[in-house]
A and B are shown apart, each in its own frame.
Chain A
Amino acid sequence: MQSTWNKYVRMKRENMKYNLAKAKKMKVCYLFLLPYAALFILFFIAPICTSIYYGFTYYNILEPPKFIGFQNYVNLVLQDEVFLTAVKNTFVIAVITGPLGYILSFLFAWFINELPRWLRTIAVVVFYAPSIAQNAYYIFSIIFRGDAYGYLNSFLLQFGLIDAPLLWLTDPRYILPVIIVVILWMSMGTGFLSFVAGLQGVDRSMYEAGYVDGIRNRWQELYYITLPSMKPMLLFGAVMAITQAFNVCDVPRALAGYPSTDYAARTIVTHLFDYGFSRFEMGYASAIATVLFLVMILCNKVIQNALRKVGT
């Protein structure tokens, strides 16, 4: 036992010495990395660390932060009913738009893969346009307007499906579905582009071999050949989908108002925004940010593990 431990320590030490020597030899690499690394640590790593720290304090910017232990987290769960609503809404949105948006963007990328080149280009632009046309979701506030001039309302009225205009964006019953529809509309993002490009790069001879080996229809081909060779893109797309599904903020704020009726459109991020930039309770907001961050990391780990098993 003792000897194994000694051996382990010696190995580690030698490893470190080797790495140090290597690092000295490759000094120029660190020089290249330095500007990016400095800014990255300053604006991405340091914020996460300070956010975790501020989560344990009471901090309102004017006074220095006061350490209060887990009080913020206790308050989040036990006192803040709005936070629980926000968590519920965020999860409903994420569970629906995340997987659905991800699957839809893969399916469409796969469908358009076999179109002639010019048609494929048009299709890519059509599907990708909503997610880059940043504030185009504003138009949904006209489509879903609550009076009879709103397009959906007037359409339904004309066909006699409803007899009075529905308040799509102010009635708590409808707000969440409307937001989910809009987010799904915008969900063909960077992941979609990655899928389109990845599908073009799948080795053709694999399909030929598969045909000879007895693959008989497109779905078998998808499961046994396409998906396994797309794994890297699928992993990347999953990261993008999770990011998009959990960071819902602009759409509910623009459509349902801020704050929305009965907090029906409150998500974790809008809650964070409220405490951080309206009430300046930075400690509390940081606790919310930490929770969101942990949930996202956890979700990412689970999904990456699940995706590794695809097609094997």
Chain B
Amino acid sequence: MSSKKKIQHIKPPETNDRVDQLRYLAQIRGELPVEEEKPRLNVKKFLIISCIVLLALAGAFLLATVRLNAINAYNAAIEAGTITGEIDVTASTWILVRVLALVLAGVYALFMLVKLAHPKRRKPNRSFWGDLGIYLLMLLFAVAMVFPLVFSICSALKPLDELFRFPPKVFPSHVTMDNFSDLFVTMSQSWIPFSRYLMNTVFITFVGTFGHVVIASMAAFVLAKYDFPGGKLFFSVVVTALMFSGYVTGIPNYVIMSRMGMIDTYWAIILPAFAAPIGLFLMKQFMEGLPTALIEAAHIDGAGEFRIFWSIIMPNVKPAWLTIIIFSVQHLWNTNAATVIYSEEKKTLVYALQQIQAGGIARTGQAAAVTVIVMLVPITIFILSQSQILETMASSGLKD
């Protein structure tokens, strides 16, 4: 009798949400305690309240600033001797009010964000205060992560006198492009025309990436879709090779290349890039997700292996080859290859820029400009392609 009474108190779910339905079932069975129904967030009301809170904080901040200025002027006047009276010592209180208002406003903004991010009822197993704490922590770390990057952009935009100011400031007070124009002047005076460095990098990047994508995809295709003796072994060796950095293999590589007469040619950079293990690895993992029926159907229709690879598999793994293109471009764009290339006219762009950067105190501004230029290329590419990259990385796991 009593259990029947309980059921009447439990509201059946209004939506098709499976969590709600499961919760409802569990509550009927008495496995879950019946919770108080939490009202949904009234967005309009919430925004109005938030406006009032933020305005109040802004008011406190303004008031404190005004008071602070008045006190400072007053104290200055007393020190100058224009008026008589005692020095006002309440300034520190107002500074505290100002800082407190700023901090509270920041926390409240985050609170709003959390509330608005989940306007409906909260997900199970997520407490509001837990979310707030985590987001606060994350915000802190995000600021710490971004600060050096913002800082390097800011110092590239500073005029020279501001770069050496004490105490130094993060944001420039006079934004200028002088550093960049100086950089171009330095570039145009270099012994080898600067376009040559650029052409070298573009050539290496283009050829290296193209070859890498084709060769690695071909290997990945058979490794992922056919079971042949030795295939598994080969792949496990490639996975181990993910750990080799260019430094560990650098010395014997140098010896091998010099035996083959490749030192001081572009091939010394391009050929190893063809065989980068990360590309093969990501490609193979992604291709395993393709249905085998696709290949079987093509076989029945009489397509050869190469045709299957080129016109069926490749169009279907677009995210993967975009990803390995991006990884390869990033790697090749940033090689300075100082150990394998000696002739000045074959050096890469990054090498030339690093030489400018190493120019000492007088080149501080230009060095900052170089950092920004070198940094912006890979970051921009990543931002443009991040959804494809994430799609590929979803299959990147190592299975047992």
Does B251 lie within 8 Å of A129, measured CB to CB? no
**A149 and B166 form a contact (CB under 8 A):** yes
Q: Does B222 contact A (CB under 8 A)?
A: yes
Cα(A122)–Cα(B146), bound, Å: 11
What count of chain A residues pass the 8 Å CB interface test? 108
Contact indicator B222/A33 (Cβ below 8 Å): yes
Interface secondary structure of A, over-half rule: helix
Contact, CB under 8 Å: B219 / A37: yes
Rounded to whole angstroms, the CA-CA distance of A188 and B149 in the bound complex is 15
Q: Does B126 contact A (CB under 8 A)?
A: yes
Residues in chain A near residue B137, CB distance under 8 A: 111
Task: Report the bound CA distance from A23 to B400 in whole Å.
Answer: 25
B272 interface neighbour in A43, A50, A134, Cβ under 8 Å: A43
Within the assembled complex, what's the spacing in Å between the Cα atoms of A154 and B169? 10
Mask: chain B, 133-167; 1 = CB below 8 Å from A; 0 = not: 01101100110111011011001000000001111
A44 contacts B375, C-beta separation under 8 Å: no
**Residues of chain A with a CB closer than 8 A to B249's CB:** 43-44, 47-48, 51, 289
B residues in contact with A44, CB < 8 Å: 241, 244, 249, 275, 277
Are the C-beta atoms of A236 and B243 separated by less than 8 Å?
Answer: no
Partner of A33, one of B141, B223, B256, B371: B223
Q: Across the two chains, which residue of chain B brings its CB closest to A19?
A: B229
Cα–Cα distance between A231 and B168 once the two chains are bound (Å): 47
Contact present for B371 and A135 (CB under 8 Å):
yes
Note all chain B residues with C-beta closer than 8 A to A35: 215, 218-219
CB distance from A85 to the nearest CB of B (A): 18
Cα–Cα, bound, A272→B238 (Å): 24
* Pairwise interchain contact B166-A139, C-beta atoms closer than 8 A: no
- In the complex, are the beta carbons of A135 and B228 less than 8 A apart? no
The smallest beta-carbon distance between A194 and chain B, in angstroms, is 5
B196 part of interface (Cβ distance < 8 Å): no
Q: Are B256 and A32 in contact (CB under 8 A)?
A: no
Q: Is B65 positioned at the interface, with any CB of A under 8 Å from its CB?
A: no
Q: Is the CB of B244 within 8 A of A215?
A: no
The secondary-structure label for the interface of chain B is helix
A89 on interface, CB distance cutoff 8 Å: no
User: Would B375 and A135 count as touching, CB distance under 8 A?
Assistant: yes
Contact A158 B167 (CB under 8 A): yes
Residue among B126, B234, B398 making CB contact with A239, cutoff 8 Å: B398
Query: Residues of B contacting A126 with CB < 8 Å?
Result: 142, 145-146
Contact with B along A34-66 (1 / 0, CB 8 A): 011101101111111011001000000100000
- B239 A239 Cβ-Cβ under 8 A: yes
- Residue pair A133, B375 in contact (C-beta under 8 Å): yes
Residues of B contacting A129 with CB < 8 Å?
Answer: 145-146, 149, 379, 382
B247 within 8 Å of A (CB atoms): yes
Whether B125 lies near A29 (C-beta < 8 A) is: no
Chain A nearest CB from B197 CB (Å) reads 16
Contacts of A218 in B (CB 8 A): 125-127, 130
Q: Which residues of B contact A286 (CB under 8 A)?
A: 251-252
- Distance in angstroms from B268 CB to nearest chain A CB is 10
Asked whether any CB of chain B lies closer than 8 Å to the CB of A108, the reply is: yes
Contact of B339 with A236 in the complex, beta carbons under 8 Å: no
Provide 15 A-B residue pairs closer than 8 Å at the C-beta atoms, listed in order of the A residue: A19-B229, A40-B238, A47-B253, A48-B244, A121-B387, A123-B142, A138-B367, A139-B152, A157-B167, A215-B125, A217-B130, A235-B398, A273-B250, A277-B250, A297-B243
A32-B222, A46-B252 known; 19 new pairs, CB 8 Å cut-off, are A23-B228, A26-B226, A32-B221, A44-B249, A125-B382, A127-B145, A130-B145, A139-B152, A142-B151, A151-B170, A185-B144, A197-B391, A211-B125, A235-B398, A243-B245, A247-B247, A272-B247, A289-B247, A297-B243
